[in-house]
Chain A
Amino acid sequence: GQNIDQPTEMTATEGAIVQINCTYQTSGFNGLFWYQQHAGEAPTFLSYNVLDGLEEKGRFSSFLSRSKGYSYLLLKELQMKDSASYLCAVVNRGSTLGRLYFGRGTQLTVWP
């Protein structure tokens, strides 16, 4: 089976930096996704990592260490609109059809 862990809740202030961690245990790891989901809306794609290292995309960066089964999403210069749930998801090489296995999500609240 798959085991994906991420913190349930985090808070931070506007302008700050926050790091959301995700650890996973899976057989045949084949990539990790981060999605953002605002309340009442659909999740939207943020990043995809399949190789070790840091992928930077504007204010958001995602890091992966396959040997440690660990990823983090780094959000810089936080804005109020970054208040959302952040979902970590892994794809398993052995899984059917690129099915994603999701963590339970981290609810981030950004305070002014």
Chain B
Amino acid sequence: DVKVTQSSRYLVKRTGEKVFLECVQDMDHENMFWYRQDPGLGLRLIYFSYDVKMKEKGDIPEGYSVSREKKERFSLILESASTNQTSMYLCASSRARGLANYGYTFGSGTRLTVV
């Protein structure tokens, strides 16, 4: 069964800490995405990647960076965590465009609390 795995389900960090959220997929998907999900705001795209070492900013990249050194792994980095980054973070992957049914497969999410 296809799978997207996020390393932590729940995480509590202190303000100012550098935080790493890891995402691994085993489907050989080209595209990977990081979203945050907040009540009333829905899913907002932070960053995405279409290939190893490639990255593109989404709609809300400020305060975040990403790393994709291997095809299967996409990391989200909070350079200096702040309380307004408390949220549910969802990773997703998909096949490259041009193939049928290239919808997303999501990970289970990481609920991050910054105190």
Contact = CB atoms under 8 A, between A and B. Distances in A.
B31 A97 contact: yes
A89 to B, nearest CB: 8
A97 B109 contact: no
A104 B97 contact: no
**Interface size, B (range):** 20 to 34
A104 B107 CA distance: 19
Interface residues of A, number: 20
A99 B48 contact: yes
Given A41-B109, A43-B106, A96-B56, A104 B48 contact: no
Contact of B108 (A33, A42, A105): A42
B91 to A, nearest CB: 9
A1 to B, nearest CB: 10
Contacts of A44: 106
B102 interface: yes
Contacts of B56: 96
A33 B30 CA distance: 19
A102 B42 contact: yes
Contacts of B43: 87, 102
